[in-house]
């Protein structure tokens, strides 16, 4: 049995915030603003898995009204979501994610992001696709006001389920 999930996550970019995407800290003058570390890529990936499992959204499980999650490393969130996925008897088939950001360039960091995500989800790096594109100076992405990530995932029933 297969299940498909998809998600989009958006965060403002603010001066003085760390830029963490896919569990990688990237040198930049701005970073995503949010309750946790605001790793927009990991949020989109995690929420797509939750969606495939019909478990609601990220805010249901990690509410921004709960100080427990303030400043949380989003990779830890993803590991918790992995445990939910395993408990439901599913594993990653594959996921395909897109980061939309004007600057900095993502290409030098994508291999490490893929490795981080694959490790957190206990799957092969070949099951994790991450791409990036720019806003070409148009819209909130092009004006460097925000960053957006999207993900679609395919889950398959575990052979051990």
Instruction: Check the annotation: does 35 bind a ligand.
Output: yes
Instruction: Check the annotation: does 102 bind a ligand.
Output: yes
Answer yes or no: are the C-beta atoms of 87 and 53 closer than 8 Å: no
Q: Peptide bond before 104: cis, by omega within 30 degrees of 0?
A: yes
Instruction: Check the annotation: does 131 bind a ligand.
Output: no
Instruction: Check the annotation: does 57 bind a ligand.
Output: yes
Instruction: Check the annotation: does 105 bind a ligand.
Output: yes
Token pair, residue 27, equals 């040198």
Instruction: Check the annotation: does 22 bind a ligand.
Output: no
Instruction: Check the annotation: does 30 bind a ligand.
Output: no
Instruction: Check the annotation: does 99 bind a ligand.
Output: no
Tell me the C-alpha to C-alpha distance, in Å, between residue 106 and each of 24, 92, 116, 121, 154: 10, 24, 15, 21, 24
Instruction: Check the annotation: does 62 bind a ligand.
Output: yes
Binding positions for a divalent metal cation: 9, 11, 43
Residues placed in the known binding site:
9-11, 35-36, 43, 57-59, 62-66, 101-107, 140, 143
């Amino acid at each position: 049995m297969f299940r498909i999930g998809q998600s989009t996550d958006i965060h403002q970019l603010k001066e003085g915030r760390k830029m963490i995407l896919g569990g990688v800290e990237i040198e930049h003058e701005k970073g995503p603003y949010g309750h946790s570390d605001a790793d927009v890529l990991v949020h989109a990936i995690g929420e797509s898995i939750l969606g495939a499992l019909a478990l609601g959204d990220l805010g249901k499980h990690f509410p921004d009204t709960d100080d427990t999650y303030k400043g949380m490393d989003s990779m830890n969130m993803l590991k918790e979501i992995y445990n939910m996925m395993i408990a439901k008897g599913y594993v990653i088939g594959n996921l395909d994610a897109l980061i939309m950001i004007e600057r900095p360039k993502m290409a030098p960091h994508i291999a490490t992001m893929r490795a981080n995500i694959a490790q957190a989800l206990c799957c092969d790096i070949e099951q994790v696709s991450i791409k990036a594109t720019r806003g070409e100076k148009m819209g909130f992405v092009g004006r460097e006001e925000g960053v957006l990530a999207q993900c679609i995932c395919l889950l398959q029933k575990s052979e051990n389920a």
